[in-house]
Structure 1
Amino acid sequence: MINTEAELNLIRESCKWGNLAHQYLQDFSEVGVGETDISLRASLRASLEMMQELGSEYRPMTMGLPASAGFRGQVGKDSALPHAISSNVKLQEGDILVTGAGAAVWGYGSELERTMVMGEPNKEQEKYFNHMFALQTLAMDAIKPGVSCSAVDHEVMRYFREHDLLDTWRHHTGHAKSQLIHEAPFLDVGDDRIIEIGMVFTVEPGVYVPGLGGFRHSDTVAVTETGIEMLTFYPRDLESLTIKV
């Protein structure tokens, strides 16, 4: 739960390679290409570069490729399902894409997720993207040592209520991250544990609109004396995440 500096460095290294895998995922995303094809090419290319740089001493300590990025079925209208299943659908202009990327580094991992758009976003897509962006920024600003995990989620829920978005809410704000996919404590109204320096969290409030799509970024952050250190560093703004078609 509390990470040493050595453990934080492993998570930082994971973020580096997850970032590369995601960049390839975005680069390879084209109309008419299947999600599995894109994910496989991005993950394999990033993994090969990762292994070449880290050398023969590298150990992933997990199953699967060293670095990976994909859509997990959250393509188009199915992006409104927080836990969709990949079906190798082909990307189409206008699709919302909710991504996920990370890398295994001696048993430690990270989480990077972004919401991308195939082509110029319409007004509704832009509206809900901006709400998601505001929610994630609010949550990041709320994370500080001495604050309860539940307090962070309460701030996020307040935004949902004030902007009449409760029908788009599906899950808590985030969770601890180091060696497992999901770890305690959770940024959840039911978790009153106190945030401490050295904890690492994902920050991922999402907005889900049936018939339109889902909107979720996830960043991995470390708790510092004054707030957080952003460990993931992929662009968060809509312009950077709009794919030309």
Structure 2
Amino acid sequence: MLSKPERGSFIQAKLAALYPDPQVPLDHKDPFTLLVAVLLSAQCTDERVNQVTPALFARADTPAAMAVLMEEEIRAVIRPCGLSPQKAKAIRRLSEILVEEHGGTVPADLDALERLPGVGHKTASVVMAQAFGEPAFPVDTHIHRLAQRWGLSSGRNVTQTERDLKRLFPRETWNDLHLQIIFYGREHCTARGCDGRGCEICRTCYPGRKHPKKTRKA
């Protein structure tokens, strides 16, 4: 069995070969449209979000324009994404706050982003990483699951998983690795398609594993 540093090096090299130039899979043109798209992706597929956002952004693609829309109008457009009442309320209110407190722009500040309605640590981290190029390691369900299967974290919670991954991998690799692990988790090491013994990374990291790897939910 490989040591944790050896597993980390192998995983990093393998993912870089598979996904040499990972791009965030949510269609957007600037920090604001990315912020809204990431917010909409909660408990929704990226594909569905990308089907919905063109109609939404045709109506409003800036905080100032979004802030003057009726909440009901936003809700009607985003309904296919699920949780539309909460998401519509959050999108309209955060747009108002961006206008009132940030000059109508999305702040490149993690704490300020986390204070916006509907924007938690993961969403704020994605925006910091993908819109502003700041190193971050947002942990979603795929990353949380794979970090446990690959022995990179105990997986007690997403906070612990994020901390463990940041300690293991170089800071300059975080933004790519965040996307690369997600892509691998969707394509090769899925929740049902691999139990910790099926995909190439699982087999390489734990060649002697005899039983399924039980993982804690995020």
- Answer whether TM exceeds 0.5 for this pair: no
Q: Which has the higher contact order (CA 8 A, sep 6+)?
A: 1
**TM-score normalised by structure 1 residue count:** 0.28
Please state which structure has a larger fraction of its residues in strand. 1
**TM-score normalised by structure 2 residue count:** 0.31
Please state which structure has a larger fraction of its residues in helix. 2
Which protein shows a greater Rg? 2
